[in-house]
Structure 1
C-alpha cells in the first residue's frame, strides 16, 4: 500500500494525517475491483475458506462491506460502480433477506451507505432501481435477527426506508422494536452485553454504540442523541484505555479480523460531539490502530485484507467468517465523514491513556481490571466477568493484553485435575487495584479468584473449593512473544513448577505474575511480597504503596 510521507509535525506519534486515511481507503477500494462479478453485484474475494452462509452470501458481503468504505470515502467514481452492482443485485442476483440470515447483516451496511450518500448515489438511480432496492431492503423490517447486536440491523435499514418514505409505519416499528430490545442488554456506565449473558468485547463499540448513535445523528433526534450519545461518551472513557502504546487494540473477544473497525467509536464520538477525548487524542488512537495493522501485514501483496490479525490467522476466525468478512474494517473509516478542517484532523496528536501514565483501572459492568504501563505501552486486561455461551479462549482466559494472543497451551488459566475449563463466571466485584470472580472448574469444583495489580506486577490468588483432597492444581501465566518478558512465580501453595494439590475443603494458591516489554525490569520478587495468614486470607505488601489484606471465601472477596 502506497501512503504519503509521514507528517511528524501534526502527527508526532503516528505520522498519519487525513491524507493517509484517504490513501488507505483508495488502495483498499482499488484492490477489490478485480474480484467483482461482471455485473458488479458480487465481490468474490480469493481464498479457500467460505463462511457457513455460502458463496452467494459471501459475494454479497464483499459488495456491502466495501460499498460502506466507498460511502465513507464519498468517492463518486467508486459509487458509480456500486450503483451498477446495486441495480443488478436487487434484480434477482442477491439472496433474499430471511430470518437470521447473513443478508440481514449486509442489508444494514447497504442501507447505511445509501443514507450517507443520498446525493451521490440514491438520488441518481432510476426510479425502477430505487423501488426494487427498497423492496429488497424491506424484508429486513420483519426478518427475525439473532438476539444480539443483530437487533440493530433492522433499525439501520428502517432508518433509511423511513427517510425515503418506503413503508414508513413498518420502518418505524422496526426501529422502535430494535432499540427497545437492546435496552435489556445495557449494563450501565456505557457498556452493553452482546445479547444475553456476559459477552463483553469490541461489539460494544462497532455495533451496540455505532448503529443507535448514527441513527440518532442522521435523524437529528436530539432526545435519542442525548441518550445514546451520552452512553457512547461514557464508554469512550474506558474504551480509549484498550489501545496499547504501539496502537494495538486489546486482543480479546470475537471477530478480531475486523481489525481497525475498533476505531469506529472513536470517530463516532468526534462526529457527533459526544466524546471525552481531545481531538488530537482521538486521531492518535485511531491512526495508531490503522498504522499498527498496516505495518504488520494486514494487507497482502494484492492489497487485500486477509482473514486474520496481522496476516492470515485462523485462530481469530469464526464459522461466519468468509473471504470478505475483514472488510467490516471499513467502519474504521467513519472519520472521513468529518471535513478536512475539523479539529480532529488539524489538532496535533496527543498521547493516549497508555502513554500518559501507569494506571490500574477497574471497569464495573464487565468486571475487568485494566493495567497499563507507560514505560512499555503494554495494556493488560484482567477478565473476571466476560464469557461466551461456550468455552472460548478469547473470552474465558483470566487475562489478555495488547501484545499477546491466547495460546493453545491455555495461558492465564487455572487447571484443576488437569482441566483448564472456566465456565459459569460470576463477578465478585472490582475496585481500586483489584478485581475478582468465581467460576466452575473441572469436576464441579468452584474457584474463587482475585487479581491485584500495581505497575506491571500482578498478584493472582485462587481459592479452590469442592475438589477432592489431593487434586492437582496448576496455574499458568502469560505466553509472551519476542521482545516481551513473561514471568510467573509461586507465592502460596505452589511449587516452583507452579503446581500444587488441594489439602482440604478449600485450598489457597497464590502466584506473582508480570508481563513487560522493559529491557531490564526490577526483579519481580522485589516489587511485591505475599504472606498467607489464614484459610483464604493473605496480605500483599507492595514495594511502593499500601499494604493490602485480602480474604477469599466461597461467597465473595474482601479487599482492604
Structure 2
C-alpha cells in the first residue's frame, strides 16, 4: 500500500504560480487513492468490518452495522471505476490503479461470499437498494476492469444478491432510479430484469423533470445536490443500458444527456473564485459528490463549448484543495469523518454513517480520462465565477426549454 497523506500534500507553490495539468492529476490521483484505499484494501483482506469505524450522530435512524459497509463499498466503487478502467502503466499512478483494481476484484468476491467475514448485506433493510445501485453503476462504468475479470462463481453470487433486493421497496423519489439501475445492470449481464422496476423508474423520473436542467426528487422539489449525487449521472447511465437493449429510443438517452449537460453549467458556476461552493440541502457530508454530474460530462467529453475542460479541472481542483488541504476530513487511520469541511457531526443526516461519506469519491470521475487528454494537458484556465469576479468577460446564462 502506498503511504500517502492527503493533508501532507498541501500546495507548496505560491498563489501566483501556475499549476500544470500534470500536477493537478497527481494531486487528484493521490487524494482518491487515500480516500478509497482503506475501503478497498480492507475488503480485499477481509478486514473491512473489523477496521472501519462506524461514526454517526445521535439522530441516526438506520441499523448501521447492517448497511454502512455496503455503502462504503458501493459508493467507492462508483467513484473509482473510470480511473481503474485505464490501462496499466509503470507510473506511480499506474501502480496505484493496478493495486486498487486487483484488490477490488478480490474484495468483490469476498463481499458476496457468505462464508467471508466481510460478506456484505444485500438481503435485509432497505438501504442496500441504494448502495447496490452504486455498485451496479461501477460495473456499468468499467465492465472490462471490474466485471469481466470476476470468476464465474462470484458473478453468479453478485447476480443473486441483486435479485434478492426485489423483496423490498424504498422511498418515492430518486430511490426508484436505484431500483431501476439495479435491474438495468442485471439485464446488461444477461439476466432477466424486472420490467416494472425498469419502466417505473423511467416514467417517474421523466415526469419529475421541472425544467432548465433540474429534476424534482419526487413530487416535491428540493434545492440540493441530489441532481448531481444521483439523478443525472445515474439516469444517463440507466438510459444508456436501456438504449443499448432497445428499451428506449436513442433520442430519450440524448435528451437525458442534454439535460445533464445543462445542469453541469450550474455546478461549474457554483464554484467560487476561492474554490468554495454553497453548503445547502441534504447530505452535505457527501462533499465532492456535488460535482459528479459536472465530472461525468467532462469524462464523456460533452462539455458546452464555452466551458473548456481546463476550467473544469481548475475549478474542481480549487474545491479539492480548499476542502481537503484546509480541513482535516480524515481520522488518524485515514477514514473519512462526518462533516463537510472537517469533523462536523451535527450536520450529518439521520441516514448518514461512515460508509455514506464515500460518495465523495464520485467527484473524481475525470480521472478516467487518460493523462494525455486535453482535460489534463491544456493550460490552466479560470472558471466562470473566477472570470465574473475579476472583471473578465464571461458567458451570460439563460433558461433553456428542453
Is TM more than 0.5 here?
Answer: yes
Question: Does 1:290 pair with 2:320?
Answer: yes
State the distance in 2 between where 1:186 and 1:246 align: 32
Q: What's 1:378 paired with?
A: none
Residue of structure 1 aligned with 2:383, choices 352, 361, 368: 352
Question: Secondary structure at the residue paired with 1:57?
Answer: helix
State the distance in 1 between where 2:50 and 2:321 align: 26
Contact 2:21/2:379 (8 A) holds in 1:
no
Q: What's 2:210 paired with?
A: 187
State the distance in 2 between where 1:183 and 1:342 align: 33
Relative to the length of structure 2, the TM-score reads: 0.79
Question: Does 1:127 pair with 2:137?
Answer: no
Residue of structure 1 aligned with 2:102, choices 46, 65, 80: 80
Q: 1:228 to 1:153 in 2, by over 3 A?
A: same
Residue of structure 2 aligned with 1:263, choices 275, 291, 308: 291
Residue of structure 2 aligned with 1:166, choices 171, 178, 191: 191
Residue of structure 1 aligned with 2:25, choices 1, 18, 21: 18
- Give matches, 1:273-312, under 5 Å: 273-276=301-304, 277-297=307-327, 298-312=329-343
Contact 1:306/1:312 (8 A) holds in 2:
yes
Contact 1:53/1:320 (8 A) holds in 2:
no
Question: Secondary structure at the residue paired with 2:210?
Answer: strand
Residue of structure 1 aligned with 2:275, choices 238, 242, 247: 247
Q: 1:132 to 1:190 in 2, by over 3 A?
A: same
Residue of structure 2 aligned with 1:213, choices 233, 236, 239: 236
Q: 1:116 to 1:235 in 2, by over 3 A?
A: closer
Residue of structure 1 aligned with 2:259, choices 225, 231, 235: 231
Displacement after TM superposition at 1:101 (Å): 0.8
- CA deviation string 1:80-109 (max 9, x = no partner): 3333332233233332346x7111111011
Displacement after TM superposition at 1:124 (Å): 2.2
Displacement after TM superposition at 1:12 (Å): 4.6
Question: Secondary structure at the residue paired with 1:187?
Answer: strand
Residue of structure 2 aligned with 1:30, choices 37, 43, 47: 37
Question: Secondary structure at the residue paired with 1:124?
Answer: coil
Q: 1:87 to 1:259 in 2, by over 3 A?
A: same
Please say which structure displays the higher CA radius of gyration: 1
Q: What's 1:57 paired with?
A: 67
Q: 1:15 to 1:78 in 2, by over 3 A?
A: closer
RMSD of equivalent CA atoms: 3.0
Contact 1:249/1:262 (8 A) holds in 2:
no
Displacement after TM superposition at 1:292 (Å): 1.4
Greater relative CO (CA pairs within 8 A, separation 6+): 2
State the distance in 1 between where 2:12 and 2:165 align: 44
Displacement after TM superposition at 1:259 (Å): 0.6
Q: What's 2:94 paired with?
A: none
Greater helix share, structure number: 2
- CA deviation string 1:308-352 (max 9, x = no partner): 011110232101111121110011111112222222222223222
Q: 1:10 to 1:261 in 2, by over 3 A?
A: farther
- Listed as ranges, the gaps of 5+ residues in structure 2 are 1-5, 85-96, 245-249, 392-397
State the distance in 1 between where 2:375 and 2:255 align: 23
Contact 1:32/1:43 (8 A) holds in 2:
no
State the distance in 2 between where 1:36 and 1:325 align: 16
State the distance in 2 between where 1:44 and 1:54 align: 15
Q: What's 2:93 paired with?
A: none
Contact 1:280/1:348 (8 A) holds in 2:
yes
- CA deviation string 1:218-254 (max 9, x = no partner): 6675423311111112222322221211111211101
Q: What's 1:95 paired with?
A: 121
Residue of structure 1 aligned with 2:345, choices 278, 289, 314: 314
Q: 1:218 to 1:332 in 2, by over 3 A?
A: farther
Contact 1:105/1:150 (8 A) holds in 2:
yes
- CA deviation string 1:67-86 (max 9, x = no partner): 33442330333233333332
State the distance in 1 between where 2:12 and 2:300 align: 28
Q: What's 1:328 paired with?
A: 359
- Give matches, 1:105-120, under 5 Å: 105-120=130-145
Q: What's 2:369 paired with?
A: 338
Question: Secondary structure at the residue paired with 2:297?
Answer: helix
Question: Secondary structure at the residue paired with 1:289?
Answer: helix
Relative to the length of structure 1, the TM-score reads: 0.58
Q: What's 1:71 paired with?
A: 81
Contact 1:202/1:253 (8 A) holds in 2:
yes
Question: Secondary structure at the residue paired with 2:53?
Answer: coil
State the distance in 2 between where 1:85 and 1:333 align: 21
